Chain A
């Protein structure tokens, strides 16, 4: 069951994290993300374009079966952004967990 939807900044971070693991193209990236997150009925294009405009991603074309695939690669700016997203996530998660499990005797460090 999927209750929580993934908001845009978080998705930006996830996209960066996947590309950080290796250059990839639009379709493979979408499939890769779907393994983890419920993002049916969506296109990653606006996110990829925005990250490109921010200087976090760059593209290059590589021939595949008579056409070109556009690969995305992470830049140093993207790596710093990704790092920032990771840290933001840590503090966000702590706050939500502290709230969700308040009074349940769970220890949140």
Chain B
């Protein structure tokens, strides 16, 4: 089939089924594609009718989601709240009441309710999904009473993104520099997700996440005063690809695993789970407590073995330190850090990484990090 024939048949197949601008957009794309790919490029793609059918399906899907949104009063409320907030932001910007880094004063009506259908929905501006919200800067996060995966990571700005199914809702409010997220997220059978981004330079004073079901991911937030992550059923993962300075990190998972990598905590690193395993890679903390009933514990500490005072104990499993098997209850003195690990049924493996590219074991001046936050 020649390229020209493809274009002609595509146009015929789309005409009247989708708006003219959709037809034009599809034609434009394929015309440009053929110009780059050369003659007979149309042979390398499916029949135009097949392509058209997909475009029509997607368009109808898109339309259905957009139409649904207007019959939901919650949207209208959310749009109004959004407009008020936008107006507030514009005024604040214009009169220079707030500088970029300062935390805004509490707002009078801080609550935005997002209620959505399947996948991404749209609200406010045409191209902005409802579930995608630009937030005011904050320095603390509190998430509680939700089901679903929670991700907190660094990004271009302060944003919240969530995908909700029909009947699900989520409450989000900002108050005095704290972002609160509460409410039921998951419906009967589904899991919702919450993703929060903060700019990479942000120093968060505290992060508290408590979920019923779902994983918790905390990644590439280099400065946190205190982080507390709890899930009844799900994994917890904390990872960083750059130097970190946490005050304290506390992780609790009943049934899932806990994995922590590249974290330096000025005071404590405390990870406990019942059924899962604990992996802590490249960590460094004044005091580290690792505890699991059923799983194993694997730890690679930054620094030298002599620096760690250790108390490692297992009931049924084995203890290995620096590649050597040890007794069920192994204790040894050390100069700087304290490491306590307890596994009832699993094994404990502890190794030492020496110097780290990310973490400086000597730089544990936690108070400095706290004071920088204010």
Contacts and interface: CB of A to CB of B under 8 A. Distances in A.
Given A43-B33, A45-B51, A70 B28 contact: yes
A63 interface: no
B46 interface: yes
Nearest to B197: A80
Contacts of B132: 55, 76-77, 80
A84 B46 contact: no
A29 B311 CA distance: 55
Interface string B41-57: 00011100001001100
Interface residues of B, number: 39
A55 B128 contact: yes
A70 B155 contact: no
B147 to A, nearest CB: 16
B45 A79 contact: no
B183 interface: no
Contacts of A27: 32-33, 36-37
A104 interface: no
Nearest to A43: B45
B127 interface: yes
Interface stretch (B156-164, B204-212, B335-343): B156-164
Interface string A61-73: 0000001111000
Contacts of A77: 120, 128-129, 132, 161
Judged by DSSP, the binding face of A is helix
Nearest to A67: B35
Contacts of B26: 45, 49
A69 B32 contact: yes
A5 interface: no
Contact of B45 (A41, A53, A80, A83): A41
Nearest to A54: B120
Contact of A30 (B28, B33, B129, B156): B33
Contacts of A68: 32
Contacts of B217: 87
A55 B127 contact: yes
Interface in B20-71: 25-26, 28-30, 32-33, 35-37, 44-46, 51, 54-55, 58, 62
B55 A83 contact: no
Contacts of A53: 58, 62
Contact of B29 (A40, A41, A45): A45
A79 B35 CA distance: 30
B219 to A, nearest CB: 9
B267 interface: no
B232 interface: no
B115 interface: no
B29 A70 contact: yes
A80 B159 contact: yes
B151 interface: yes
B195 interface: yes
A42 B47 CA distance: 9
A58 to B, nearest CB: 8
A46 B51 CA distance: 8
Given A27-B33, A84-B195, A76 B120 contact: no
Given A43-B45, A55-B132, A48 B157 contact: no
Contacts of B46: 41-43
Contacts of B62: 50, 53
A80 B44 contact: no
Given A43-B51, A49-B55, A54-B129, 4 more contacts: A25-B32, A27-B36, A46-B55, A80-B195
Pairs of residues from A and B, 9 with the lowest C-beta to C-beta distance, nearest first: A27-B36, A80-B161, A43-B45, A46-B54, A55-B127, A45-B29, A77-B132, A54-B120, A80-B195
25 contacts: A25-B32, A27-B32, A27-B37, A43-B33, A43-B45, A43-B51, A45-B29, A45-B30, A45-B51, A46-B51, A49-B25, A53-B62, A54-B120, A55-B120, A58-B127, A67-B35, A69-B32, A76-B132, A76-B155, A76-B197, A77-B129, A80-B132, A83-B151, A87-B151, A87-B215
Interface of B: 25-26, 28-30, 32-33, 35-37, 44-46, 51, 54-55, 58, 62, 119-120, 122, 127-129, 132, 149, 151, 153, 155-157, 159, 161, 193, 195, 197, 215, 217, 279
